[in-house]
């Protein structure tokens, strides 16, 4: 089977991203800057061949994917397996608030304990299983083609670790910028890393002052 090329992109910025409030499954839409990022992404990908556009069902991912798909008159295919990690009762809180209210649980999260789940949320093991199953399913439909998947920071973390064979508890040393373009190669044997965190489309002299 031929490999599938994947453009994996984190959604544009939201108001909660800006103030580091945990989103998880909470359905937050893009803010103005996030919509600008999505349009810049669409422009950056204008010459990229895309067999399909996939996105998480959450608004912030769906809106970002729609900016790209709209220019091509393509549909956005929704897959719930591409959702962000569920953070249960952590959602809606900032890091500072969590450390004050739930210090022991927050420490377990910071240490990336694989079987720890915030009450009502998912463990890292559950997230990894869900995400890799979804990506395997979608990528296998497009041998020899390239697809766009608009997802979330936690999803991209899983994909980076899978592509580089990093342990689930290894400290993160890679960036997850909003609307950065990340390139992966999928085959039935697994994922490979081609390129990561390309944000050249966001670094332009034509930026309005409000985006600086």
- Band (pLDDT 50/70/90 cuts) for residue 205 is low
CATH number at residue 24: 3.40.50.1240
How far is 61 from 144, CA to CA, in rounded Å? 25
Question: Residues with catalytic annotation?
Answer: 11, 84
pTM for this model (two decimals): 0.94
Residue 207 has what pLDDT?
A: 42
Range of the domain at 163: 4-211
Q: What's the pLDDT tens digit per position in 12-29?
A: 999 999 999 999 999 999
Q: Domain tally for the chain?
A: 1
pLDDT tens for 65-94 read: 999 999 999 999 999 999 999 999 999 999
Q: How far is CA 82 from the centre of its chain?
A: 8
Q: What digits encode the pLDDT tens for the residues 91-126?
A: 999 989 999 999 999 999 999 999 999 999 999 999
Strand partners, 150: 9, 55
Length of the chain: 212
Q: Is 121 left (phi over 0), alpha (psi -120 to 50) or beta?
A: beta
CA dist list (Å): 85 to 41, 72, 166, 174, 210: 24, 30, 19, 18, 31
For 55-75, give the DSSP string: E-SSHHHHHHHHHHHHHHT-P
Question: Do residues 142 and 52 lie in contact, with contact meaning Cβ atoms separated by under 8 Å?
Answer: yes
């Amino acid at each position: 089977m031929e490999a599938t090329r994947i453009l994996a992109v984190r959604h544009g910025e939201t108001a909660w991203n800006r103030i580091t409030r945990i989103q998880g499954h909470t359905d937050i839409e893009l803010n103005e800057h996030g919509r600008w990022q999505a349009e810049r992404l669409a422009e950056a990908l204008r010459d990229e061949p895309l067999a399909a556009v996939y996105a998480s069902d959450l608004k912030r991912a769906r809106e970002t994917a729609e900016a790209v798909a709209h220019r091509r008159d393509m549909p956005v295919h929704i897959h719930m397996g591409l959702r962000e990690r569920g953070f249960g009762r952590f959602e809606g809180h900032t890091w500072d608030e969590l450390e004050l209210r739930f210090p022991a649980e927050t420490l377990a999260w910071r240490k990336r304990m694989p079987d720890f789940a915030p009450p009502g949320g998912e463990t890292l093991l559950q997230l990894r299983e869900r995400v890799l199953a979804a990506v395997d399913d979608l990528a296998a439909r497009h041998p020899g083609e390239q697809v766009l998947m608009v997802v979330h920071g936690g999803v991209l973390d899983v994909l980076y670790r899978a592509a580089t064979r990093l342990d689930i508890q290894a400290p993160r040393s890679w960036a997850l910028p909003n609307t950065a373009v990340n390139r992966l190669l999928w085959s039935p044997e697994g994922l490979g890393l081609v390129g990561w965190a390309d944000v050249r489309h966001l670094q332009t002299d034509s930026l309005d002052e409000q985006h600086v």
